[in-house]
Chains A and B, each alone.
Chain A
Amino acid sequence: MILTLAAKELKSLFGSPLAWSVLAVLQALLAYVFLGQLDAYLSLQPRLTALANPPGVTEMVAVPLFGVAALVLLMATPLLSMRLIAGERRDRTLTFLFSAPLSLTEIVLGKFLGLLAFLAAVAALPALMALSLYAGGALDFGLVLANLLGLLLLAAAFAALGLFFSSLTASPTLAGISSLGAFLGLWVVNMAVTDPNSALHTLSLLKHFESFNRGLVDSADIAYFLVFAALFLAFTVRRLDNQRLGG
């Protein structure tokens, strides 16, 4: 049932010009960054070889690319998540799901997985570009995989929070802008903090993604993203249940 719903969401996404536009715009943007980094690497390469332990092409090109991809994901997710529940509420189609023999958890998970599958396609864009470097030299696969994993976990966190904001309102635009605000807020929450042990670092999405970006797969970071996503999915279920109770 969850997968049936997820497939439906994915189909609706790919059936709309929005999803394709998002993919096209992101690909253009990422390609620009990719080529820019590659260019910089090639011009620096003669000097790099003189160093004792020079940074490889993966570090110089792929890592910044994934960094940009994370930011791009932050911008794109609200556009895709905003209509998931708010749009159904506006079009009064939520009744269709509520009347079917489905639990609220199944509905929420179905929508979440549908969106996550799409975001995985978004995350595949930089990963494939990074892999294309393999054609011209050695590649640090561990670093690429760590980055991809980080990006996917980040996508899961964004999707869950976006879905939650979408469940709060009947206006997709409102859901979108609130999600964007929340994402950005969490992104920069540790910006002004000088104390390295501040709790705000623990809250910051960016901080946790940075470890993956450097190639560090830390179970604490993985747990952070998973708990984050699970928490907001649970909130979404609660919210829908309250709607049924409160009318």
Chain B
Amino acid sequence: MEAYNTFFGLDSRIVVWIIAQIHLLFAAFVLAVPVFALSVEAIGVKSGDKRMDDLAHELTKLLSSAFSMTAATGGILGFSLFCLYPEFMRYMTNVFNEGMFIYALCFIGEGFCLYFYYYSWDRTQNNKALHIGIGGLLNLFGVTLMMIGNSWTSFMMSPSGIDQETGEFVGTVWEATTNFLWQPLNIHRFIANIVFGGFIVGAYAAVKFMGCKTKEEKAHYDWMGYIGNFVGIGAMIPLPFAGYFLGREVYSASPVMGNIMMGGRFSWTFIVQAILIGILFLGANYYLWAGMERIKGSERYTKYIKYLNGIIVFCFAVWLTPHNLPLTGEERSLIGEQYHIISKYFGVMAAKNAVVNLMILTTFFSFLLYRRSNKFKTVPFTQQQGSGKFIALFVALAFTLFMTVGYGFSILGAHVDVEVKPYLSFISICLFIQAVALIGAVVLTISNKGLIGQWLLFASTAIMAVLIMGIYGFVLMKNANMALRFLSVTQVAMVITCLIMNAVIDAVYYSKAETSEIEWGKMHYRSQFALILLCVLMVMTMGLMGYVRSGLRENWHIYAVLKDTSPWSFTPTLFNMTWVVGLVMVIFFALTSMVFWLSSLTGKKDEAEAH
């Protein structure tokens, strides 16, 4: 048997790359949109808002055509792998034998639930529990499918159940499935899929909005765009942390692979990623600020936008600064050292971690301003009725204290060199101070000073997680490199706790406030391009990160086990990557437009019948 074949003489790897990426995008779509639709439907049932139910139904309509496309591209991917890489697939099928059958069965299950969920919508209006149950099952199948697929790709990166002497697979399917990188990849992909789903819905709404003829339609699609963006941004905030977790585990799985990723061949890809994510944050914030136009009372906050914009642009600039600028000998002698004076400081992880956290805090602050725009006179906490607000505050406090104090103690107990210990003590102290700030914020909220509580928490997080730890990162890089990993996690923990607690305080503080009407539909066309931008950037980022994840294996099909001896076992340049991902994007959007058009035919039929 030949180890490799070609498809009409084309580069087999590029063929598989394109098909796999298109399949992945559709798979992400059909995984994310049901999560989205089910959540929206459940909120609609709880709140009694009919708009929510209609939105969930409209989204599900898109799914039925998208599901067929996912199946078709998955089939093509399977055929192309078996035809072009038969030896590799023989190895994979030997390892995952039964798992592949389970995958196929789950796919049937997902298909059944999806169509049942969609076609039974009207019939189950009086039995929402059943409908939501089916939706839950649909999501369960979807997540299981994603996890099984992830086990194959993560196995290729960190194979388990291998005899290290002979390279033979001697484990079980379960051992191969639960390989080292499986869970980090599952978490990262699940969150990323939600972001993607949100932005796809946002882009769909934007295109529809621009083509609307009536005020009602405009209001509907403006609102849909807002919801899509809200979900996308909401899920995007924890995404860098999930990405950091995955990256850290890649390093733990193989220091060689980790070094290639962050310090070697792929380090430049993270500059591209920084540019894409930076623009994504700017676009998301711009949309929020533009959305304030539709809210009477937002004038109170618009004056802050320019400062927020300045902070985000600054963070963006630092994030995309590379550490190692390629300098000529003359340039180096002119500077007097290897690194440029700016890139020397801004190009390293200590600075980048600080600005990423600041960017997340700023975006969250933008969201809070948006949320407050239509809220006026509040009811003091002590005068509000009900125990729900206490429960919410104390659950949030317990969770955030668990994160800060728990992690603080675990750092103190970490097994590291004696010289490193004092550095860790300082990090723990910061976490304990954050815990005190969290308690203080809750106490202030209960004392009718919720806003001061929020400011306290923002200030403590920005000062410690961004400023102090940003600078401290340089100290650690010089004196105790090993402590850096604890520092990054601490920064993340502080920012997350700040976000959670401030969101809860905000909800409690404004729960009984006077509100003004939001004029849905009163949005400029420009803002709709921000929604499209977010979707395009997300597709690009997914393509880029797929290139990194797959490329990290270098010339191995299965890392350190099965070598790639084909003529294509080299890493394509970033320029090649942009061409391939660009082509994938064009094909994906063309197919998605077709899916949307097909689903709109049902709508036209319904309208015709109504007339």
A joins B in a complex: no
